[in-house]
Structure 1
Amino acid sequence: MGSSLGQFFKQYLEPIKLNDVKVNWRTMDLSYLLEDKYSMHFANTVKKATPVYGAGVILKAYNIDGDVRIKYRDQSDFENIARQFGIFQEWKDGVPRTAYKGVVVFRHQTSRRIFLIGPESLKLLQIEES
C-alpha cells in the first residue's frame, strides 16, 4: 500500500508491464550509472533532446522524431503539462516526484523519451539554453 495507501495504484502502477525480454546484464557496460559519471551522461542525453516551446507543446512533441524536452515554469505549469500527458503530477519537497535535478523523464505511447525540464534544471546540468 505504501504511504499513499494505494490511491495511485490503479492509475500509475497497475499498467506497468514487467520486462519479458532477456537481458544479459553481465555483458553490458553500466559504468555510466555510477554517481561520478551519471550526471554528465544524463546532461548529455537531455542536451541532445529537441527543445519544444510555446503553445501546443504536447502536439509539437508528438511530431518530433527522437527525444523531446519541454520546460515547465513552476509547479502549476508542471502539473498542467503532466495532466495532459497523463503522468503523475505529485509534487514533494519543492520538486516533482521522480525528478532528477528537476527533470522528469518518461515515455509516452512511443519509444521516444520526453524530458520535463524545471526552471533551474539546465543550469544544474550545466546545459546552455538553446
Structure 2
Amino acid sequence: MEIAPDFFNYFEVAATILDNDKTIMAVSSWNDNGQHQFVRDPKALFRSDFFPGLGWMLKKSTWVELSPKWPKAYWDDWLRRKDIRKNRQFIRPEICRTYNFGEHGSSMGQFFKQYLEPIKLNNVQVDWKEADLSYLLEGNFLKYFAKMVADAKPLHGADVALKGDNLDGDVRIKYNDQREFERIAHQFGIFKEWKDGIPRTAYKGVVFFWYQTSRRIFLVGPDSLRLLGVEKAQIPLA
C-alpha cells in the first residue's frame, strides 16, 4: 500500500474530530469512488454511513468495545453492519490518502481493474493543521451537506448520465431502491455495491461524486431529503 505525502498529518488532525464527536466511529484515508474521473478537491472531507476501510483509525475505547467479538475474516463487512456501527459514521477524504497496488490478496483481486487500479492517490501536501474541520462535526456537516444537495438541480428520467452531459452546475438524481441505484451507478461507472442496506460512500443515502470535473452528481435515496432536513423534501425529484 502506498500513502500520500500528507497521510500522517491528515490522521493527526482528524484525531481531534474523532475524540470530540462520539457519533464518529473511525477516520479513513479511502474513498471507494475515488477514481481519477470522480474526484477533484484534495482538501475536501466527508462523513459517511459506510465504513471505507483501507487505512483507518479508531479510538482505543472503540477498540475495547469491538475487540472481544472481532471476527477472524471479513471484518470490514462486519464493521458495516448496522448492529455493530450503531448509527455512528466515518470521516473519509474525497481524494484517497492510500493506494492499494496489490491485485492479488485476500480479496482475490475482486474489483481491482475496474475500481482500485484507477484510484487517484493525493499528491498535494495539504497543511491539515491550518484547516478548520469543524464543519465535520455532526450538526455542522448535516447543514453543510444538505445545502449542497438542496442547491443541486433535479434530473429526471432514464439515461441520466447522457442528460448530465448537457447541464451546467450540480445535479441530483433520485433512486427509489437498490436496483434503481445500481442501474444509475452503472451508467456513471461508480461502485454499485451495497452492504446492509447502504451504498458505498453514502451519507444519509446520498452518494456524491464529480462528473466530467465540472459538476457534482448527488444520487439521492428515497428518504435522503427528509433525513437531511431539506425544505424541498416534499417535492418529487423523479
- Alignment of 1:69 with 2:172, yes or no, is yes
Identity %: 65
Distance 1:112 1:17 in 2: 18
Q: CA deviation at 1:100?
A: 0.8
Distance 2:168 2:124 in 1: 25
Q: CA deviation at 1:17?
A: 1.6
TM-score, reference length from structure 1: 0.88
Q: CA deviation at 1:103?
A: 0.6
TM-score, reference length from structure 2: 0.50
Distance 1:54 1:112 in 2: 19
Give matches, 1:4-15, under 5 Å: 5=107, 6-15=109-118
- 1:17-61 per-residue CA deviation (whole Å, 9 max, x = no partner) reads 212223222222221011231111111111111111123322222
Structure 2 residue runs without a partner (length 5+):
1-53, 55-72, 75-105
Instruction: Give the structure 2 partner of residue 119 of structure 1.
Output: 222
Report runs of 4+ in structure 1 exceeding 4 Å deviation.
1-4
Counterpart residue type for residue 33 of structure 1: L
- Alignment of 1:85 with 2:188, yes or no, is yes
Query: Is residue 209–residue 217 contact of structure 2 (8 Å, CA) maintained in 1?
Result: yes
Query: Of 175, 197, 204, which aligns to 1:94?
Result: 197
- Alignment of 1:55 with 2:158, yes or no, is yes
Distance 2:160 2:190 in 1: 15
- Say which structure, 1 or 2, has more relative contact order (CA 8 Å, 6+ apart): 2
Distance 2:139 2:150 in 1: 18
Matched positions, count: 130
Give matches, 1:32-43, under 5 Å: 32-43=135-146
